[in-house]
Structures are given as C-alpha cells and as structure tokens.
Chains A and B, each alone.
Chain A
Amino acid sequence: DQQVKQNSPSLSVQEGRISILNCDYTNSMFDYFLWYKKYPAEGPTFLISISSIKDKNEDGRFTVFLNKSAKHLSLHIVPSQPGDSAVYFCAAGLSGGSNYKLTFGKGTLLTVNP
C-alpha cells in the first residue's frame, strides 16, 4: 500500500504561470517532507524540504505548503519556466530517524510550455 501518493502522473503549464504539484500521505507519523526534481538521464536532485512544525517553506520560486490535518503537501513554482520541465518526486519520513526510511511517491511529470 502506497504511503506517499502523487495522483497526477503529469501536469502541463504555460511559461510564467504557476505550477502546483500535489502529494498526499497516509502515515500520520511522517514529519519531514522533501521534493526532488529529476531530469531525463540524470539522478534526482533535492529541491526543498519542510518539517511538520511549519506549514510553509519558501526558496526563491519554489514554495512548499504542508497541511497536516489533510495529510497533504504541495509544491508551488512561480513563475514556471521551461527549464522546470522534469519529474518531481515527493518524499516523506521521520525527522531524526534514518534517511533510509524516506518513502517516495511515483512522481509527476511537469511540462512547462514556452
């Protein structure tokens, strides 16, 4: 049973607009969440993280929102750029626990059209 779900396999957005990628989790013990980005033929690269003591974390064009009651997090990219086109993975785990307990979603392919 998947504990981390990214229900949209793909998303297409126009350049300059907002991209919103969603992630749901089922394990209420998770308190540490990350987003990774993956280009074709490359490994995933870390993008942004958030712990459960916050509901928002911002880094430049990227903002992650966490709704603990809904067990939902989202990644907002504003403004979207063609170079943002990639697969985005959501991951969840226990802070202070082991990295190897991170659980990943299947990913969402974002395409930003010029």
Chain B
Amino acid sequence: ETGVTQTPRHLVMGMTNKKSLKCEQHLGHNAMYWYKQSAKKPLELMFVYSLEERVENNSVPSRFSPECPNSSHLFLHLHTLQPEDSALYLCASSLSHRATSGNTIYFGEGSWLTVV
C-alpha cells in the first residue's frame, strides 16, 4: 500500500481513442506529479500540480492533458496518441513541491499504456 493508487494498471488503446488515467493519493499531500518512463530511458517529468494549480508543463505534447480537480486526485487525459507514447506512466505526490529533507516523492504503481 503506497498511499498513491493509479487506475487502470494496464491500458491498450488505439491511436484514435480517448482514454484517461486516474491517480488518487491518500497521504494529505499538496503536490502531485505525472512522470513517464519509457524503455531504457530515465524517468521524465511531465506535469506538476501544487494545490491543484499546474506549476510545470515539461514540454509535453497537447495530446496529453492533465486535470487536477482537487489535491487528492489527478487525471491524465489521452487522445490521438502515437505508438511511441507507449510507456509506464507514474503518478506521484509529495507534501509540497519543494525538494527538502523529509519531503519525499511517493510514487504510485504506474499505469502501463500500450498504443496500437
């Protein structure tokens, strides 16, 4: 039990589909993140939300659209994706978005996305 839960764990979608990834954190944190992990690449930050406000959009294509309705929930809406977008998408949260001792990032288990 990580305190950060993601659904679905696995998703296969066509390039014309619209789908969403969901993340929920039960830790009372104020910052939430989306990361992408492709094969043989480091974790890449996609988006950061702090108190429901987006504070970072790390040059992510518009076919990925985040939504943070409250500090406990984060969505990643997907549409017209490409096969190269197939990856593990990790949600994470932390107390704040500041890198200080004790303010650790907690990750969810990830959503495996395959675009066909």
Chain A interface residues (CB < 8 Å from chain B): 2, 4, 32, 34, 36, 41-46, 49, 51, 89, 93-107
- Contacts A99-B97, A100-B56, A102-B99 given; indicate if A42 touches B104 (C-beta within 8 A): no
- Contacts A2-B42, A104-B42 given; indicate if A32 touches B2 (C-beta within 8 A): no
- Select from chain A the residue with minimum beta-carbon distance to B93: A99
Q: Say whether B106 contacts A46, CB under 8 Å.
A: yes
A51 cross-chain contacts in B, Cβ below 8 A: 101
A96's contact among B33, B45, B58, B98, by CB below 8 Å, is which? B98
- Select from chain A the residue with minimum beta-carbon distance to B42: A104
Q: Say whether A44 contacts B42, CB under 8 Å.
A: no
How far is A26 from B33 in the complex, measured between Cα atoms in Å?
Answer: 25
**Which of B43, B99, B110 has most chain A Cβ within 10 Å?**
B99
Q: Say whether A95 contacts B2, CB under 8 Å.
A: no
How far is A103 from B45 in the complex, measured between Cα atoms in Å?
Answer: 9
Q: Does B103 contact A (CB under 8 A)?
A: yes
- Select from chain B the residue with minimum beta-carbon distance to A50: B101
Q: Say whether A99 contacts B109, CB under 8 Å.
A: no
Q: Say whether A106 contacts B40, CB under 8 Å.
A: yes
Number of interface residues of B (CB under 8 A): 31
Q: Say whether A43 contacts B33, CB under 8 Å.
A: no
**Which of B45, B90, B94 has most chain A Cβ within 10 Å?**
B45
- Select from chain B the residue with minimum beta-carbon distance to A4: B42
How far is A54 from B107 in the complex, measured between Cα atoms in Å?
Answer: 26
Q: Does B108 contact A (CB under 8 A)?
A: yes
Q: Say whether B42 contacts A106, CB under 8 Å.
A: yes
How far is A73 from B43 in the complex, measured between Cα atoms in Å?
Answer: 19
A49's contact among B6, B45, B97, B101, by CB below 8 Å, is which? B101
A-B contact list, 9 entries, CB within 8 Å: A42-B110, A43-B2, A93-B99, A97-B98, A98-B48, A98-B98, A99-B33, A99-B48, A104-B42
B90 cross-chain contacts in A, Cβ below 8 A: 43-44
6 smallest CB-CB distances across A and B, nearest first, come from A43-B107, A104-B43, A100-B48, A104-B42, A46-B104, A93-B99
